[in-house]
Amino acid sequence: MSASERKTIQLPRAKPIILTFYDRIEYPYSSTFYVTYTTPNELIEEFIDSVEALSTCVLGKYKIGYEEYVVSDYLDKLKNIAPHSIGSFKWRIIAYTADNTPASFSIPGRNQELTSRNKSAQIDHPAWQTFLTRFRQLCLTKTGEALQEHVHVKISNGKWPPKGFKQR
């Protein structure tokens, strides 16, 4: 087999951070962000905390690269979750690469307290400021491309019940 006949695949040049949140019906929702392979786990943990602050859902587990972690008190938090915690209502974060290609990220369980009267994100809120600072500092596209400084935050109202949901 010649070199031109071989099939090659592009390996990701960014380390994934996969967050799994649970809403009031214990339905899982995942969010994926990407960072460089050299980003220290301490910075990634701070970023995860900033994502968690924007959601009413409970973070149950997460993966940094291939390492999986379970949040030790998530079952206790799940028992006390607010009745309006619905994972299909999301924050959509849209950033752009240097050639203006959009990269979209989502956070389930949109926190209504961080939403303004005109149904947009209260970007001046400290929780948003912390998230956006860390997002701009750490996050990349799946292929490892840097993102521009400007970020759009939108509201996404998902369908209820979520796809794959089964009544117990």
Confidence (pTM): 0.82
Structural domains counted in the chain: 1
Exposure class string for 122-147: b at 16+ Cβ within 10 A, else e: beebebbebbbebbeebbbbeeebeb
Say whether pLDDT at 10 is over 70.
no
Confirm whether 5 is domain-assigned. no
Q: Which residue matches tokens 């090659």?
A: 8
133 within some domain: yes
Residue 128 lies in a domain: yes
Rounded to an integer, the average pLDDT of 118-133 is 85
pLDDT digits (tens, 9 = 90+) for 25-38: 788 889 999 999 99
Number of other residues whose CB lies within 10 A of the CB of residue 117: 6
Determine the structural domain holding residue 76 and report its residue range: 15-157
Q: State the distance between the two ends of the chain, measured CA to CA, in whole angstroms.
A: 53
pLDDT at 23 over 90: no
